[in-house]
Amino acid sequence: MKAHSCGERACPRWGAKRPQNRPTWCIRHNRGYGFTAAAQPSAGKPARHIQIHIQIHIQIHIQIQIQIQTNIQSQSHIDNQLCNTR
């Protein structure tokens, strides 16, 4: 068998010929550090992270309201028991 030089057949053929189109998930940075600016949302449609933030805020608000109602009912029940024992 013939000996091959270091570069010959060292990598598979597909490794040498990479596709020219970059994947959509690939972001190219011109600087070596930092972040690129986020795309601005279209009018009337908030960005996804804002929607999630709003949903979490609403869920927390609902949970607080439920807790308040539960506390009011518990306090009312305790008050009724105290009034009935006197």
The token duo for 33 is 């550090």
The residue ranking higher by pLDDT, 62 or 82, is: 62
Instruction: Give the pLDDT score at 22.
Output: 57
Asked if 30 and 37 touch (Cβ cutoff 8 Å), the reply is no
Comparing 37 with 28, the larger pLDDT belongs to 37
Instruction: Give me the torsion for CA of 57, 60, 66, 68, rounded to 10°.
Output: -100
Scored b (16 or more CB within 10 A) or e, 27-47 reads: eeeeeeeeeeeeeeeeeeeee
At residue 66, the pLDDT reads 92
Cα(43)–Cα(14) distance, integer angstroms? 43
Is pTM, for the whole model, over 0.75? no
Mean pLDDT over each residue of the chain, to the nearest integer: 68
pLDDT at 76: 82
Residues contacting residue 10 through CB under 8 Å, at least 6 positions apart:
4
- Residue, of 72 and 82, whose pLDDT is higher: 72
